[in-house]
Structure 1
Amino acid sequence: MERPAIHPYVPIIIGVLSVASSAIFVKLTTADAGVIAFYRMFFSVLLMLPVFLVKYRMEILFLSKKDWIFSAIAGVFLAFHFIFWFESLNYTSVASSTVLVTLQPIFAFVGTYFFFKERLSFKTILSAVIAISGSVIISWGDFKLSGTALYGDMLALIGCALITAYLLFGQDVRKRLSLITYTFVVYSISTITLFFYVFIKGESFGPYPEADWFWFVVLALIPNLLGHTLFNWALKWVSTNTISIAILFEPIGAAILAYYVFQEKLVASQIIGGIVVISGILLFVIDGMKIKKYFSSKKA
């Protein structure tokens, strides 16, 4: 496998900063969760279409049956991840929803162990426990035991499981396909899934205020094409576990944005939790063996 031009952690960090804005953009729209998800994916596919047709269209002919199946499953999981997560934002706060939806190591470590036989070192488990503990601390002061908030928390947790499944299936296919082809195929399948979901539910495809259309496009550009596409790029060289732990940065950025945009106040538990999350992520990332192996390969 060829070496990447830059260290995979760099685009992962940029991707995390991009997806941290997603919950804010969603809450600024007035449409239903399924509609928001549909237009987010639809505009993403439209923006990618010219590049795909000009440079990558022939690559689609070489997809194996397994590639199609795994891409289809990944696309469906991605679609329902957005549905459950966007819906959760109608019932609980940005901080709680984002924290729960980014608790992916709980699912990713189990998934990579059973699907890819990846061994979990003590450092990996310890860093995950620390990071997840930080996420719980962030949400502690924001959790409410009311029926609506608890329902929103459950939706976000389901969304968390679905995005992890999407990454797990994508990890296998991404190693054999170019970034553009893989992303275009998965996003297209996700768009089709969301179209039928919205149609069957009887939700409206429009009209919507001009502001909503603006946020639909912004969701496609920043969290999707910049955020998730960078994660898909990184999957060729790193494990789903790496991305899952890095994404734990998202609640920190989302909580800060929610404070300024929606006046959702940051409490001491969120600040302390953020420090704990960063500590857990740094423990995982600053792995002497991984860094030494990477720089050694660059010198070779």
Structure 2
Amino acid sequence: MTTSEFDGPISPFAGLGVAILAISTSAILVRWSTAPSLVKAFYRVVFTVALLAPVALIRHRGVLATISHRDLAAASGAGVALAAHFASWFESLNHTTVAASVTLVQAQPLFVAVGAWAFLDERVSRRTTIGIGVALAGMVLMSVSDLLAPSSAPRPLLGNGLAVVGAVTAAAYVLTGRSVRSRVALVPYVVVVYSVCAVTLLAVTLARGDPLAGYPLREWLLFLGMALGPGIFGHTVINWALAHLESSVVSVSLLGEPVGSTILALFLLTEIPTLPTVLGGAVVLFGIYITAS
């Protein structure tokens, strides 16, 4: 459905703007929390499930009962991939700057394109190939700059690498669930995915011995904020907007997240990115723009 076909009371562009602002707060909320990375990721997903489950049970109970075993398996695989995405990206923010981490993790469309070509036999256009090449050049520039220039980040190369892992696993999440979303409604699908994601994160958290309780009220409010802001008002609204706008419009608009996160980090965390990081990030974003547009 195109924008001209939308005649509802809420503008999809307004919804998309709110969503981009909401997801831009994710890195800030993660940084503000002092809990272990896996614990933050676990409670973000648990609170998101808690907020969405009543809707799924009341409005989509019949859909939940009729999900096929194949779709359930695919949704479960997507949930495991999403758990790996959250775990790697949240940890990356402990080692590199918000600007670098959010820019690199937003490179997901590049890996979706490569994965679709490798596993789904989808054709990769010349434009997509050029975009991937440009973005990879930006990633190399950001990594080399971390070796040559001083940075306020404690271990920028490790953090950047984890952010790229977060992008790859996010792409796996998208590719795994691509076919399922054509057959299963949004809320039932994400409840299944988030539930499997939460169980996976819980298992890894317990294996590492990270404490799940004993946190002050401030931490619980941050966990809830991660679920409400980036989770509900961010990614859920983006999925709603996809029903009213072309996917290319939504994909390109997501490039606003690294910009928004960097600005918020500047004012709320007093974190000033280095010039090479800004330049490399700009090259990465330009490559993603070429690929997604």
- The corresponding residue for 1:25 is 29
Go from structure 1 to structure 2 and tell me whether the alpha carbon gap of 1:10 and 1:69 turns closer, same or farther (over 3 Å shift): farther
The Cα of 1:85 is off from its aligned counterpart by 0.9
Q: Deviations over 1:220-272 (max 9, x none)?
A: 01111222224445677999988666544322221111111111114444555
Give yes or no for the alignment of 1:99 onto 2:103: yes
Would the aligned equivalents of 2:76 and 2:196 in 1 still touch at CA under 8 Å? yes
Give the letter aligned to residue 22 of structure 2.
S
Would the aligned equivalents of 1:103 and 1:135 in 2 still touch at CA under 8 Å? no
- The corresponding residue for 2:55 is 51
Q: Could you list the runs of 5+ residues in structure 2 that have no partner in the other structure?
A: none
Q: Deviations over 1:97-151 (max 9, x none)?
A: 2222122233211111133332222233334444555566677756669983322
What's the % identity of the aligned pairs?
A: 37
The Cα of 1:52 is off from its aligned counterpart by 1.2
The Cα of 1:284 is off from its aligned counterpart by 5.6
Would the aligned equivalents of 1:105 and 1:128 in 2 still touch at CA under 8 Å? no
- The corresponding residue for 2:233 is 226
Secondary structure of 2:174's match?
Answer: helix
Question: More displaced, 17-26 or 38-47?
Answer: 17-26
Give yes or no for the alignment of 1:186 onto 2:186: no
Q: Deviations over 1:140-175 (max 9, x none)?
A: 756669983322222222111111100111111111
Q: Deviations over 1:13-56 (max 9, x none)?
A: 65443222211100100100110001000000111122111111
Aligned residue runs from structure 1 range 260-271, under 5 A: 260-269=267-276
Cα root mean square deviation, aligned: 3.4
For 1:185 and 1:82, the matched residues in 2 are separated by 16
Give the letter aligned to residue 47 of structure 1.
L
For 1:259 and 1:131, the matched residues in 2 are separated by 24
Would the aligned equivalents of 1:42 and 1:191 in 2 still touch at CA under 8 Å? yes
- The corresponding residue for 1:123 is 127
Question: More displaced, 163-172 or 90-99?
Answer: 90-99
- The corresponding residue for 1:254 is 261
- The corresponding residue for 2:158 is 151
Go from structure 1 to structure 2 and tell me whether the alpha carbon gap of 1:264 and 1:202 turns closer, same or farther (over 3 Å shift): same
Go from structure 1 to structure 2 and tell me whether the alpha carbon gap of 1:190 and 1:149 turns closer, same or farther (over 3 Å shift): same
Give yes or no for the alignment of 1:87 onto 2:94: no
Would the aligned equivalents of 1:35 and 1:205 in 2 still touch at CA under 8 Å? yes
Q: Deviations over 1:193-224 (max 9, x none)?
A: 11222122111111112111111011001111
For 1:11 and 1:149, the matched residues in 2 are separated by 34
For 1:278 and 1:202, the matched residues in 2 are separated by 38
Secondary structure of 1:51's match?
Answer: helix
For 1:110 and 1:130, the matched residues in 2 are separated by 14
Give the letter aligned to residue 41 of structure 2.
A
- The corresponding residue for 1:75 is 79
- The corresponding residue for 1:39 is 43
TM-score, normalised to structure 1, is 0.81
Go from structure 1 to structure 2 and tell me whether the alpha carbon gap of 1:250 and 1:130 turns closer, same or farther (over 3 Å shift): farther
Go from structure 1 to structure 2 and tell me whether the alpha carbon gap of 1:93 and 1:246 turns closer, same or farther (over 3 Å shift): same
Go from structure 1 to structure 2 and tell me whether the alpha carbon gap of 1:269 and 1:149 turns closer, same or farther (over 3 Å shift): closer
For 1:128 and 1:15, the matched residues in 2 are separated by 25
Would the aligned equivalents of 2:22 and 2:229 in 1 still touch at CA under 8 Å? yes
For 1:69 and 1:13, the matched residues in 2 are separated by 33
TM-score, normalised to structure 2, is 0.82
Q: Could you list the runs of 5+ residues in structure 1 that have no partner in the other structure?
A: 287-300
Would the aligned equivalents of 1:99 and 1:138 in 2 still touch at CA under 8 Å? no
For 2:163 and 2:289, the matched residues in 1 are separated by 25
Question: More displaced, 179-188 or 243-252?
Answer: 243-252
